[in-house]
Amino acid sequence: MVMAPTDPGPRSSDGTRRYASIKDVASRAGVSYQTVSKVLNGGGSVAPATLERIQRAADEVGYVPNVLARGLVTHGTRTLGVIAADPSDHVLGRFVVAAQTEARRLGWATVVANVDAAASDVAGCVEVLSERRVDGILMAAPQAEGDADLGTRLRGRLPVVSLHHIQGLRVPLIGSDHVQTGTLAVEHLIEHGHRAIGVVTGTTGRRVTLARLGGGAQALRDAGLEDRNGDWLQEGDWTIGGGYAATLRLLDRHPELTALFIHNDYMAIGAVRALYERGRRVPGDVAVVGCDDAPPARYSVPALSTVRVPFEDTGRIAMAQLVALVDGEPAPKRSTLLPVVLVRRESCGCEPEPEETA
């Protein structure tokens, strides 16, 4: 039978529980405030009996170190901020979780600030994290690309590593080779004999969209095919519904298309539904290749061919780079681009490759 503690710990004047302080520990242990401060902050040694008494008192009153207060003395909190976009985005979630895991492995805590998609207030998130005295910021919000003032706000303030370009500020950029993503996808469709290739793009103006478009266009030119102009492109919004609607618009303009390159897997799932409703078989009538290798890709019907982007590796490397900057190491002179890999499954007409079970 587990007994409740007899002492609920220190309380405020209104009776509510408050965090125990060093003074509470000193009072319980019967030693001076200075002695407790020295012991709990690792600043010196005391007699073993005194050390045991202080540690027992700290446990009894529920003492938790005040990292912010300690940071005023040490000029660091060993806490890193992460500015991220929509938390429901599973792709982004893989990156953020990997980054947080790496931070913990290196002995750092993290605080995540999510950008309001409507307000796109990246600068506001910077202020929130700065007020909490983080030692550096990892930027994982594509809204940063469109904020003309963000570089000015960040300059000289904190070490920053980003997945996305920040106007007016040179920071280490960590990401994947999205030109290669587009090249691999379109080359694969061309190798399967396709010439009427439509493209459902990501959001217009995003650097990842432009890079994937550029890689696909280069693959067409290398094969001696005309570079598809805007008539064969249709913008999506990265969602399943967006891919569905964009594919219907492409089919209205080009019912003769035999292949689709789609800028992420969620839009590709919507595209497969649109093709089904139009009586087009996948891959019998239209081959489909997506991007990212999102979790649903391997379980869709048919299983989705895609270009795998290493989100977990990106998060791990980005966080390790940020910790290195905070520790005083020099920033890399160029961006870090991780390679991507084509994953052949059923939606392009390939035999599925063997995969590890989940």
pLDDT in tens, 75-111: 457 889 998 887 667 778 889 999 999 999 999 999 8
What distance in Å separates the CA atoms of residue 326 and residue 2, rounded to the nearest whole number?
A: 44
- Mean of the pLDDT values across residues 61-81? 63
Q: What single letter denotes the amino acid at residue 81?
A: G
- Mean of the pLDDT values across residues 15-29? 69
* Beta strand 160-162 pairing with 341-343: unpaired
pLDDT in tens, 259-301: 999 999 999 999 999 999 999 999 999 999 999 999 899 999 9
Where b means 16+ CB within 10 Å and e means fewer, 206-239 reads: bebbbbbbebbbbbbeeeeeeebeeebbbbbbbe
- Mean of the pLDDT values across residues 17-29? 73
Q: Do domains 1-63 and 178-309+341-348 have the same CATH topology?
A: no
Band of residue 185 on the pLDDT scale cut at 50, 70, 90: very high
Q: Of residues 287 and 26, which shows the higher confidence score? A: 287
What pLDDT does 25 receive? Answer: 80
Band of residue 69 on the pLDDT scale cut at 50, 70, 90: low
Query: What residues contact 334, with CB distance under 8 A and at least 6 apart?
Result: none
Q: Under CATH, what is the fold of the domain 178-309+341-348?
A: Rossmann fold (3.40.50)
Q: Of residues 73 and 120, which shows the higher confidence score? A: 120
Q: Under CATH, what is the fold of the domain 77-171?
A: Rossmann fold (3.40.50)
What pLDDT does 144 receive? Answer: 81
Q: Of residues 107 and 14, which shows the higher confidence score? A: 107
What distance in Å separates the CA atoms of residue 84 and residue 129, rounded to the nearest whole number?
A: 12
**Sequence ranges of the domains in the chain:** 1-63, 77-171, 178-309+341-348
What distance in Å separates the CA atoms of residue 185 and residue 212, rounded to the nearest whole number?
A: 9
pLDDT in tens, 300-353: 999 999 999 999 999 999 999 999 999 888 888 778 999 999 999 999 998 777
Q: Under CATH, what is the fold of the domain 1-63?
A: 434 Repressor (Amino-terminal Domain) (1.10.260)
pLDDT in tens, 198-218: 999 998 888 899 999 999 999
What pLDDT does 2 receive? Answer: 37
Residue 14 has pLDDT above 50, yes or no: no
Name the most confidently modeled range: 132-136, 157-161, 276-280, 354-358: 276-280
- Mean of the pLDDT values across residues 49-55? 80
* Beta strand 305-308 pairing with 341-343: antiparallel
| Tokens describing residue 332 | 């890399």
- Mean of the pLDDT values across residues 42-66? 74
What pLDDT does 167 receive? Answer: 82
What pLDDT does 17 receive? Answer: 46
- The region of weakest confidence among 82-91, 161-170, 233-242, 285-294 is 82-91
Exposure of 262 by Cβ count < 10 A (0-12 exposed, 13-18 middle, 19+ buried)? buried
- Mean of the pLDDT values across residues 3-30? 60
Average pLDDT, the chain: 84
What pLDDT does 93 receive? Answer: 83
